[in-house]
Amino acid sequence: MLGWDKSAVHNYETRGVTVPNERAQELADAWGLDIITVRRNLGLWVPDDQGKPMDQAEAMLDENERIAARLRSLADDRDRAAVIAAMEAVIDALTNAEKSDEAGKKPR
């Protein structure tokens, strides 16, 4: 898809070789992601002020996923209605966090 040499990709994946800036931009363009997200996920430098809202949204999503997993583990037949109601609340929270994240990506 990107026309990269397999040995270079292997070095990025397994040998700790840093992905060059140009490659990060190619990935962002190919996957339709913003460059800050790609750079952060590759372990490259990103400006501090842009990472905070994303980090907060990711932390909220992680917490919601933990809550959902605990609720699923509690579910038996007699508690199913309560668990379903709680899961719906978690899904709403996840949806709102995702909308918040998307709103933060839009140019102002």
Name the token pair of 96.
């709102």
Residue 11: the pLDDT is 64
Asked whether the whole model's pTM tops 0.85, one would answer: no
* Domain locations along the chain: 1-46, 48-108
What are the φ and ψ backbone dihedral angles of 57, each rounded to 5 degrees? -65, -40
**pLDDT at 76 exceeding the cut of 80:** no
In sequence order, the 6+-apart residues with CB closer than 8 A to the CB of 23 are: 4, 12
For range 90-108, the mean pLDDT: 72
pLDDT tens figures, 5-36: 777 776 666 767 787 888 889 888 888 888 88
DSSP letter at 16 equals: -
For range 79-89, the mean pLDDT: 73
